[in-house]
Each structure stands twice: as structure tokens, then as C-alpha cells.
């Protein structure tokens, strides 16, 4: 018997007692559509077959792989760091906005818009070596807790999406993050949280510079944005980084629209997937009026474009890891 088990393990016989790859997904149209897509591209006998080298799946991060309410977690890091840095040296608060932010005035921050948020974020996201920035983020993730759930931020990841990532990788997909969030920030936890290594993270990046001080080289994070990986930027970044078009794209907001459009406009079988935040009880419910994660065009056009709308409340049996 032991020998038979060993043989079965060795050859990983197809069709041999498959467990459900998506146990946290309720049986229904969404789960069926995902499984049907994966089977269609991995069946070597089908004309929909896709060679493993071309099995590329791209995932947005905020709101798709982890939560993004009440505001992007990276911004909460930036606020915490700003307060910490201002306590040590108040002279860094060089504008009214920075003073308001350090004082925790969320209304002033909200009123400042994207540009204001970038100004605030830049204080903690530039002027240090990349390695030091990553160490700071790691330390924050280890101690900071979400204001509503009390959970560590890097535990507020979606169990059904973890299963989808693992299912795809088991079927010889490579899984990439394509996020409007900062690439150096995401790389701190992507391996542990999602099993996605740093070189499979694509994101927004600041200016960077090579510097040799006393014979020791470092990559320094400079002020200013180098590339915004959002909206039209997502397909541009995908082409720049991968040189080929994905066959599966998953997002949750209109910032992912072009990534899904680019992915699903290719030849052969394609899957565009939108996580729709419908679950106020277990997570958050928002779409058209979201201050973050606004989803309007995607909702309007998903049907005609053949994209899969995942209803978080109906389609997910569980939300967080370990909560079943």
C-alpha cells in the first residue's frame, strides 16, 4: 500500500482523486466559470490549449487580493510614519497639509486629493535606501493593526483568492501582481502572503538612484514618481515587464479596467474577473461611490465584455484565512 501511494505521488496521475481546488468558493456560476477556463487552457487535446509559458495571470492587489478600506493600507503606513518622523523632527512638516496629516486631520487629507496623498506618502517613501524602506514596512506590518477589524494588515487577504492563485500555479500558470500600490511596499509581504516572489510584483514606483557611499553601493529612493501603475499604465507596465499578454486578469476597480480590456482582447480563451465588494458584514460593501476602489465602468460593461463578476457575498464561503 505504501508503495502504491508513493507511486501515485510520484506520477501525480491526472484525474486521480482531485480535491476541490477552490473550497472557499461556493458552488455556482463564478466558480464553475473559473474551473472551466482553467480546464480549457490546460487540456492538451483541446484547441483552446495554452502552452505553460503563456499561462500568465495578473492580479490587482488592493481590493482584489487584500482589503483596501477605509483607505489603502499603504497610506495608513505613510501616515503612521509621518507622525513618527514628525515627533522626532517637527521641521519635516513643511506644508499645511503635512501638519494636518501629522495631526490626524482625515478631512484635510481627503480634501487634498490624490496629489495631497502623494505629498504625504513621499515623506516616508523617499530619502532612504530601498533596503531600509523595506525594513520599515516589515516592522510596521508586524505591529500595526487595522482600525476596524483589529487584524494585522497582511492577514486581511482573501482566502478565496489565495486558493485561486494556488490553483493556477498548480496548473502551471505564473501569477503576477499588477498594482497601483508601491512596488517596494508590496514586495515586503507578497512572498509570505501570496507565495508571489518579488520579481513577480509590478507596481507604482518612485524615482530611484544608484549611489556609492564609502565604497558601499545602495539603491536610494528619491522624491518623485517614476511610473504610475494604474489604469492605462497597467497594460503598459505588463508589456514592459513581461513582453507578452496575460490570459487571465483579476481586479476590483476601474483602475483595473484597461488591464482586463488588454488581457481579454487577445486571441483564444481569456478570463477577466472582477471582485465585487458586496459583503458589508464580513468585509465591506462599495462600488460606484467608493472613495477608494471605485467600480462603475467595470460594472456597466462586464456583461457585454464577458467578464466574470464575482459577488463576494454570494460566491465566497469565507473571506479571511483561518476563518472557516
Q: Which of 136, 33, 70 is nearest to 277 (CA)?
A: 70
Q: Closer to its own copies at the Cβ: 166 or 236?
A: 236
State which residue, 5 or 45, has the beta carbon closest to its own copies: 5
**Residue 248 lies near its own copies (rule: CB under 8 A):** no
Q: How far is the CB of 273 from its own copies (least distance, A)?
A: 18
Half-sphere exposure of residue 226, counting CA atoms within 13 Å on the CB side? 15
Question: Which span (82-90, 139-147, 191-199, 268-276) binds its own copies, by CB under 8 A?
Answer: 191-199
Q: Which residues have C-beta within 8 Å of that of residue 35, sequence separation ≥ 6?
A: 21, 22
Cβ neighbours of 123 (radius 10 Å): 21
Determine the interface stretch with its own copies among 41-49, 62-70, 99-107, 210-218 (rule: CB under 8 A): 210-218
Q: According to CB under 8 A, which residues from 65 to 124 bind its own copies?
A: none
Among 105, 241, 299, 301, binds its own copies (CB under 8 A): 241
Interacting residue with its own copies among 210, 213, 289, 303 (CB under 8 A):
210
217 near its own copies, judged by CB under 8 A: yes
User: Between residues 94 and 191, which has the closer beta carbon with respect to its own copies?
Assistant: 191
Q: Which residues contact 127 (CB under 8 A, 6 or more apart)?
A: 220, 221, 222, 223
Q: Are 153 and 74 in contact (CB under 8 A)?
A: no
Sequence-separated (6 or more) residues with CB below 8 Å from residue 105: none
Identified binder of its own copies from the candidate list 163, 184, 229, 315, rule CB under 8 A? 184
The answer to the question of residue 212 lying near its own copies (CB under 8 A) is yes
> By rule CB under 8 A, what string of x and - marks binding of each residue 128-157 to its own copies?
--x---------------------------
Q: Is 301 in the site for its own copies (CB under 8 A)?
A: no
The residue (of 139 and 240) whose beta carbon lies closer to its own copies is 240
Distance in angstroms (rounded) separating the CA atoms of residues 275 and 310: 5
Residues in the chain: 324
CB of 257 to its own copies, least distance (A): 11
How far apart, in whole angstroms, are the C-alpha atoms of residue 76 and residue 295? 22
Using CB under 8 A as the binding criterion, the count of chain residues that bind its own copies stands at 31
Nearer to its own copies, 104 or 197 (CB): 197
- Pick the closer one to its own copies by CB: 196 or 319: 196
Measured from the CB of residue 196, what is the shortest distance to its own copies in angstroms? 11
Rounded CA separation 118/105 (Å)? 16
3-state secondary structure of 38: helix
DSSP conformational letter for 308: E
DSSP letter string, 174-231 = EEEEEEEEEHHHHHTTHHHHHS--GGGEEEEEEEEEEEEETTEEEEEEEEEEEE--ST
229's torsion region: left (phi>0), alpha (psi -120 to 50) or beta? beta
- 240 in contact with its own copies (CB under 8 A): yes
State how far the Cα of 128 lies from the Cα of 294, in Å rounded to an integer: 32
| Binding residue for its own copies, selected from 60, 254, 256, 261, defined by CB under 8 A | 261
Please give the Cα distance from 81 to 121 (Å, whole number).
Answer: 9
Site of interaction with its own copies (CB under 8 A)? 53, 130, 183-184, 187, 197-199, 201, 205, 208-210, 212, 216-217, 219, 232-233, 235-236, 239-244, 258, 261-262, 265
Amino acid at each position: 500500500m505504501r508503495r502504491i501511494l508513493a507511486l501515485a505521488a510520484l506520477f501525480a496521475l491526472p484525474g486521480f482523486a482531485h480535491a476541490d481546488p477552490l473550497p472557499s468558493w461556493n458552488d455556482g456560476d463564478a466558480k464553475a466559470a473559473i474551473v472551466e477556463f482553467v480546464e480549457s487552457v490546460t487540456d492538451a487535446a483541446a484547441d483552446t490549449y495554452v502552452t505553460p509559458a503563456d499561462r500568465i495571470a495578473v492580479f490587482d492587489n488592493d481590493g482584489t487580493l487584500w482589503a483596501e478600506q477605509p483607505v489603502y493600507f499603504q497610506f495608513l503606513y505613510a501616515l503612521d510614519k509621518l507622525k513618527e518622523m514628525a515627533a522626532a523632527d517637527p521641521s519635516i512638516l513643511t506644508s499645511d497639509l503635512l501638519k494636518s496629516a501629522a495631526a490626524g486631520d482625515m478631512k484635510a487629507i481627503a480634501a487634498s486629493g490624490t496629489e495631497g496623498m502623494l505629498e504625504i506618502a513621499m515623506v516616508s517613501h523617499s530619502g532612504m535606501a530601498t533596503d531600509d524602506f523595506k525594513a520599515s514596512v516589515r516592522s510596521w506590518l508586524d505591529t500595526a493593526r487595522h482600525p476596524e477589524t483589529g487584524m494585522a494588515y497582511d492577514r486581511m487577504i482573501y482566502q478565496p483568492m489565495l486558493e485561486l492563485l494556488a490553483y493556477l500555479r498548480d496548473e502551471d500558470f505564473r501569477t503576477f501582481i499588477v498594482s497601483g500600490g508601491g512596488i517596494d511596499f508590496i514586495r515586503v509581504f507578497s512572498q509570505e502572503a501570496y507565495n508571489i516572489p518579488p520579481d513577480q510584483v509590478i507596481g507604482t514606483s518612485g524615482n530611484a538612484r544608484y549611489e556609492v557611499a564609502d565604497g558601499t553601493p545602495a539603491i536610494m529612493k528619491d522624491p518623485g514618481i517614476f511610473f504610475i501603475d494604474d489604469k492605462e499604465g497597467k497594460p503598459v507596465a505588463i508589456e514592459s515587464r513581461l513582453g507578452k499578454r496575460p490570459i487571465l486578469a483579476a481586479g476590483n476597480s476601474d483602475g483595473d479596467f484597461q488591464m482586463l480590456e488588454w488581457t481579454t482582447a487577445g486571441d483564444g480563451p481569456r478570463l477577466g474577473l472582477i471582485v465585487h465588494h458586496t459583503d458589508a458584514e464580513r468585509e465591506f460593501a462599495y462600488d460606484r461611490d467608493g472613495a477608494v476602489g471605485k467600480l462603475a465602468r467595470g460594472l456597466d460593461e462586464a456583461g457585454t465584455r464577458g467578464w466574470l463578476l464575482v459577488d463576494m457575498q454570494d460566491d465566497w464561503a469565507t473571506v479571511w484565512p483561518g476563518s472557516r
